[in-house]
A and B are shown apart, each in its own frame.
Chain A
């Protein structure tokens, strides 16, 4: 899906997103490459277990009431 990826890059350049500073501050001792190797199988599984149109699904996920 090259189109989608391209869109992401565009967003990143223009978006002024401060997310890396906020959420990603702990890289810690687990280096990205090691993590990738160990997590490869589960990452492949993620796409197969997410709902179809996962992004739409999570946007429509609204819970009312409770407690």
Chain B
């Protein structure tokens, strides 16, 4: 029986400073985060349970530990909403708290954009000498460098990893028809057309293998990082690196919602073998086809389009949801998935209110028509980048939103609330509430632990190995009884 899907996203944001090419992106990222976090930056990230080099296929981890960004004094904070906000190499990165509904994830993903926007605003208003920074929620600089938007899903440890690889790869190759964020240009070395094409995804060109541990070189469609951030006997965390950063709420909702249902079907062995011949090449081809009609070859010999293959996943999902998992959330995902595939089949460009790649394509097309520009014109690449600017008065996605040209799933009030408030139905609630209530007594935190300084000689570690424990329902009574962190630890131990 499939386990409940707990999920979250990690987004590395692009950072630039107009007219100041010598600015330091590492220190600037740290400045954004520490300015936003204020006194919370004192709380350390607890690395004890982390093992990013462990491989889900059972390989031994490499024991060497390199100096982390935190050793260099770079910002790495846990926020009252349960999120992690930190410097990842040369980017500010935001990891949402754990969520259990796609709608909640969209809200928290958007809250991340607001936090970046606010950080930028605080730095630029309080530090006149700071470089003129700007922040982009995208995945490529157009010059062969990509930065990631990763999804994470809680999975049953007992499921053979090979089942995930077999059943998920065809889904990932073809879901880009609705998850793609759109991009002007090709960055794969073999594609000589350079800037003169438009692709569905920002990321496809950076994927070169089917399965592997890497995230920065020879990127695999299925990433094998095995770092559960939960009880390792029961769970794995599927670390998905093949997705795009989405601005459109419908794109994010579908990306997370459909993937979560497919993963449950995989755990329940509810899918036939839909393997694609040469999935890496298919990913590149599907990304290069704005008509969404190009066919891929399945290992059973059939030729189907990406949309047709998605229909097959959907048909199985409809039956599965009805039979095994009939929740309002799943019904909403399935209905939206179905209407989206229907539109993709009849005319993809009608989805300009829902999907990033279509909204951006339409914007670029209109601009090209007005000014009679070639696709290779650098102005179009500037527009592409500007679509992803997190500032609501500057970002082109947000200008479309302001004029009512894209569909919303969230309200501004919900997103604003999620800037400070954790989801109530996962362990993020306990983490976030403890950060809010006992900020001076939390010495460190991670996804699955809190380290509390009760004033005693030794620090106390509160393990949080179950992602669905520590919800509002579980801990609100406890938190109400504990005025101090020391009382909290006492109550937990009694």
Give, as a whole number of angstroms, the nearest-CB distance from B373 to chain A. Answer: 7
A19 lies within 8 A of chain B by Cβ: yes
**What is the CB-to-nearest-CB distance from B475 to chain A, in angstroms, rounded to a whole number?**
34
Tell me how many residues of A have a C-beta within 8 Å of chain B: 45
- In the bound complex, CA of A41 to CA of B216 (Å): 40
Contact with B along A1-27 (1 / 0, CB 8 A): 000010011011001011110111110
State the total of A-B contacts with C-beta under 8 angstroms.
169
Decide if B196 is an interface residue (CB 8 Å cutoff): yes
Contacts of A53 in B (CB 8 A): 18-19
User: Do B383 and A50 touch (CB < 8 A)?
Assistant: yes
Q: Indicate if B54 sits at the interface (CB-CB under 8 A).
A: no
**From residue B382, how far is it (CB to closest CB) to chain A in Å?**
4
Cα–Cα distance between A23 and B194 once the two chains are bound (Å)? 12
Chain B binding site: helix, strand, loop or mixed by DSSP? mixed
Q: CB distance B382 to A55 under 8 Å?
A: yes
Taking a contact as CB atoms under 8 Å apart, the answer to whether B375 and A24 are in contact is yes
Give the CA-CA distance A28 to B130 in the complex, in Å.
46
B377 close to A (CB within 8 Å): yes
A41-66 vs B, Cβ < 8 Å mask (1 yes, 0 no): 11101100111111101111111111
User: Is B143 at the interface (CB under 8 A from chain A)?
Assistant: yes
User: What residue of chain A has the Cβ atom nearest to residue B16's Cβ?
Assistant: A61
CA distance A51 to B134 in the complex (A): 10
Whether a CB of chain A sits under 8 angstroms from the CB of B348 is: yes
Q: Which of B134, B145, B382 contacts A62 (CB 8 A)?
A: B145
Partner of B196, one of A8, A18, A28, A49: A18
**Cβ contact within 8 Å between B241 and A67:** yes
A54 to B389, CA, bound (A): 13
Q: With A29-B349, A63-B145 in contact, do A36 and B18 touch (Cβ < 8 Å)?
A: no
A15 CB → nearest B CB, Å: 7
Closest CB-CB distance, A28 to chain B, in whole Å? 5
Decide: A66 and B290 in contact? CB cutoff 8 A: no
CA A26 to CA B358, docked complex, whole Å: 11
Per-residue interface assignment for chain B, residues 351 to 375, with 1 indicating a CB less than 8 Å from any chain A CB and 0 otherwise: 0000000000011011111111111
Instruction: Please tell me if the beta carbons of B373 and A8 are within 8 angstroms of each other in the complex.
Output: yes
Pairwise interchain contact A67-B147, C-beta atoms closer than 8 A: yes
Q: Does B198 reach chain A (CB closer than 8 Å)?
A: yes
A55 adjacent to B379 (CB under 8 Å) = yes
A39 neighbours in B (Cβ, 8 Å): 362-363, 366
> Any chain A CB within 8 A of the CB of B88?
yes
Contacts of A51 in B (CB 8 A): 18, 134, 382, 386
* Segment at the interface with A among B170-178, B394-402, B483-491: B394-402
Q: Do B366 and A28 touch across chains, with their CB atoms under 8 A apart?
A: no
Residue B319, interface by CB 8 Å: no
Query: How near does chain B come to A49, taking the closest CB pair, in angstroms?
Result: 5
Tell whether B314 is near chain A: CB-to-CB under 8 Å. no
B419 interface residue per 8 A CB criterion: no
Q: In the complex, are the beta carbons of B12 and A22 less than 8 A apart? A: no
| A35 to B367 alpha-carbon distance, docked (Å) | 10
Instruction: Find the residue from B371, B374, B394 having the highest chain A CB count within 10 A.
Output: B374
B197 with A19: CB separation less than 8 A: yes
Give CA–CA (A66, B349) in the complex, Å: 33
Give the interface centre of A9, A36, A58, A59 by most chain B CB atoms within 10 Å: A58
State whether B374 touches A28 (Cβ < 8 A).
Answer: no
* Min C-beta distance of B181 to chain A, whole Å: 15
Is B378 part of the binding interface, using a Cβ–Cβ cutoff of 8 Å? yes
The verdict on A65 contacting B197 (CB below 8 Å), with A24-B375, A46-B396, A55-B382 known, is no
Q: By CB atoms of chain B within 10 A, which of A24, A32, A63 has the most? A: A63
User: Which B residues form the contact surface with A (CB < 8 A)?
Assistant: 12, 14-16, 18-19, 21, 25, 88-91, 134, 140-143, 145-148, 150, 184, 193, 196-198, 215-216, 241, 290-291, 347-350, 362-363, 365-379, 381-383, 385-386, 389, 393-396, 399-400, 403, 405
4 nearest interchain CB pairs?
A65-B89, A19-B375, A66-B147, A19-B196
* A residues adjacent to B (C-beta < 8 A): 5, 8-9, 11-12, 15, 17-20, 22-26, 28-30, 32, 35-36, 39, 41-43, 45-46, 49-55, 57-67
